[in-house]
Amino acid sequence: MKITVIGTGHVGLVVGLCFAEIGHEVVCVDNDPHKIKTLEDGQLPFYEPELETLLSRATDSGRIRFVTDLAAGVEHSELIFFCLGTPPLPGGEADLSSVERVARQIARLSDSYKLVVEKSTVPVLTGERIRKTMQIYSREKGDVEFDVASNPEFLAEGSAVVDFLYPDRIVIGVENGRAEALLREAYAPIVDQTFEWRLEHPVPADRGKSVMLVTNRNSAELIKHASNSFLAMKISYINAISNLCDAVGADVRRVAEGMGYDHRIGPEFLKAGIGFGGFCFPKDLEAFIHIAEKNGQDFGLLREVERVNTNQIDKFIEKVRHEVWVLKGKTIAVWGLAFKPNTDDLRFSPSLITIERLLAEGAAVRAYDPQAMPEARQTHEQVTYAESALDAAAGADALLLLTGWSEFRDVDLAELHARMVRPLILDGRNHLDPEAVRAAGFEYVGMGLPQNGEAKPPAAVPRG
C-alpha cells in the first residue's frame, strides 16, 4: 500500500519506518528541512531503540522517502496519517494549529479521494473540525471526497518500535466502510502477524496478538485521552501511597507488588518516584481536563492527579534539603536527564525541573545521561556534563538518581563510594537496590521506602 505520514517526529518516524518494514511504500513529510536532511543522510534526529536498523533497511529497499514538500506527500497516497505535534497552549488546551493548517493545505492540494487519519493525540471532536475544514477549503476543487478517521497511537518512547509492531490494540475510529477498509488493509500485516521480525532484540514474551477495535471517530479520540489520563492517575495514586509509606515507615514497593497481583489492578505503572513527564501525559491530562470542562464535566479527579504529580518534585527537593541541609555551594551529581529511560527526549522531564530547582538554590550540578546530554547542553548551560555516571559523581556531596537507566544498576559501588565527598544517594526512581547500596557504605534515601531498611512504627496508632 502507499502511505503518507505527515510529521516525522517521535511518532511519525516510527510509524513511517514500521509501515515500510511491513511492506508498504511510505512518504514521510516534515516542514523541518534540517530533520529531513538528517534522515536523507541516513541519520536519526533522536534516539530510539531499533530505529537505526529500520531506517537503513527502509532506505536500502527504497520503501521510504523523506520530503519537505507536502504536495509530494498528498500526491503519493490516498491514506494520509497526521503525526503532527499537539503541544499545550498556556491555558492547557491542545494547540491544533498545525493540524488545522495541514488539513487546509491537503484540501487545496488534493485532486482525488483522501483519507486523513489523526494519529496525533487530539481532543474529542477534532476529527469533525478537520472534516469541516477540509470541506470548506476544497470547495474550489469541486467534487473531491475526503474522510477523516481517528487512529490514536499508544506507543511509548523507548519501546516505540515493538509497541507499534506488537500493540495491545489498534483503535480505529471511522465514519464509513471505505475508511475502515483502508485502515484494515494498512494494519493487516500487524493484526495477522504476517511480517517477519528482523530486529536486534527479541520481541518481549508478553506480546501476544493485537486486537483491532473499530468504533466511531469520537469514541476513538476519547480512548486515547482516557487511557493516558488513567495511566497518569495510576502513577499519581502510587505516589500518594508512597508519601504515606514515608510517613509510616512502610515500603511502597511491597505495597505496589501486593496491589499488582490483583488482576483487576495489574502491576504496571505502580512505580513510585518523582512523577511522570514527557510529551504525552502532562499535556494530554491538561487537554483532557480542558475538553471535559468545555463539555460541562468537572474533572476534579484529574486535577488531583496533576497536583500529586507536581508535588512529587517538591517532596523530593524536601528530602534533598533534609539530607544535604544547605544546597548553596554544594556539588550535586545527577544521574539521568531524559523523562524516562531509553529515550533522549527531554520534554517536560521531571529531572530537568528538579535540576532547575537545585540550580536556583545555588547548587552546582554535575549530570550524566547515556543519551540526552547533547540536547540538554543546548538548554541547560549551567549544568556540568560528565562523560560517565562515575565521573558525574566525582567530588559530589550527594547523588540524585532521576531517570531509571539500566546502566545505573551496573555502576561499581566501591568506585562510586571512593569518588564522592559524601556517599549519599537520593533515588528519585527507587531504581537501585537499597540493601546493596547501604551494604556498600552509602546513605540511601528512596521514595516511600523505610529509612535504613527498618520499618518505623506508625506515626499514630489508631484507637478504638
Ligand X SMILES: NC(=O)c1ccc[n+]([C@@H]2O[C@H](COP(=O)([O-])OP(=O)(O)OC[C@H]3O[C@@H](n4cnc5c(N)ncnc54)[C@H](O)[C@@H]3O)[C@@H](O)[C@H]2O)c1
- Give contact residues for ligand X (rule: CB under 6 A): 6-12, 29-32, 35, 83-86, 98, 101-102, 120-121, 153, 155-157, 279-280
Instruction: Report the half-sphere exposure of 73 (CA within 13 A, side-chain side).
Output: 27
CB-wise, 66 or 444, nearer to ligand X?
Answer: 66
Burial per residue of 393-402, b for 16 or more beta-carbon CB atoms within 10 angstroms, e otherwise: bbebbbbbbb
Least distance to ligand X, CB of residue 219, Å: 17
In the complex, the smallest distance separating the C-beta of residue 12 from ligand X, rounded to whole angstroms, is 6
Sign of CA dihedral 385, 387, 389, 393: negative
Rounded to a whole number of angstroms, the minimum distance from the CB of residue 4 to ligand X is 11
Closest contact distance (angstroms) between CB of 87 and ligand X is 8
* Cβ atoms of 102 and 82 closer than 8 Å: yes
Q: What single DSSP character describes residue 438?
A: H
Q: How far apart are alpha carbons 448 and 106 in whole angstroms? A: 52
Residue closer to ligand X (CB basis): 24 or 347: 347
φ/ψ (deg, to 5) at 132: -65, -45
Q: Which residue is nearest to ligand X (CB)?
A: 9
Cβ proximity to ligand X: between 85 and 428 the closer is: 85
- When the beta carbons of 186 and 280 are compared against ligand X, the nearer one is 280
Alpha-carbon gap, residue 99 to 120, rounded angstroms: 9
Which lies closer to ligand X via its Cβ, residue 13 or residue 245? 13
Q: What distances in angstroms separate CA 262 from CA 241, 268, 307, one per listed residue? A: 17, 11, 27
Minimal distance, residue 74 CB to ligand X, in Å: 12
Residue type, 136: I
Residues noted as catalytic: 280
Smallest distance from ligand X to CB 305, Å: 17
Pairwise CA distance, residues 447 & 274, whole Å: 8
The C-alpha cell 481517528 sits at 150
- The strand pairing partners of 171, in sequence order, are 213
Nearest to ligand X of 319, 340 (CB atom): 340
Taken as a whole, the chain contains a residue count of 464
Q: How many CA atoms lie within 13 A of 427 on its CB side?
A: 26
Q: What is the DSSP string of 183-215?
A: HHHHHHHHHTT-S---SSSPPPTT--PPEEEEE
Long-range CB pairs of 306-309, under 8 A, 24+ apart, other chains included: 306/236, 306/282, 308/236, 308/237, 308/239, 308/240, 308/275, 309/232, 309/235, 309/236, 309/239, 309/275, 309/276, 309/282
DSSP 112: S
Minimum CB distance to ligand X smaller for 331 or for 371: 371
The set of cell numbers assigned to 75 is 500526491
CB 269, CB 231: distance < 8 Å = yes
Run of H or E including 283 = helix 281-294
Nearer to ligand X, 67 or 425 (CB): 67
- Rounded to the nearest whole angstrom, what is the least distance from the CB of residue 232 to ligand X in the complex? 13
> In the complex, what is the shortest distance from the CB of residue 231 to ligand X, in angstroms, rounded to a whole number?
12
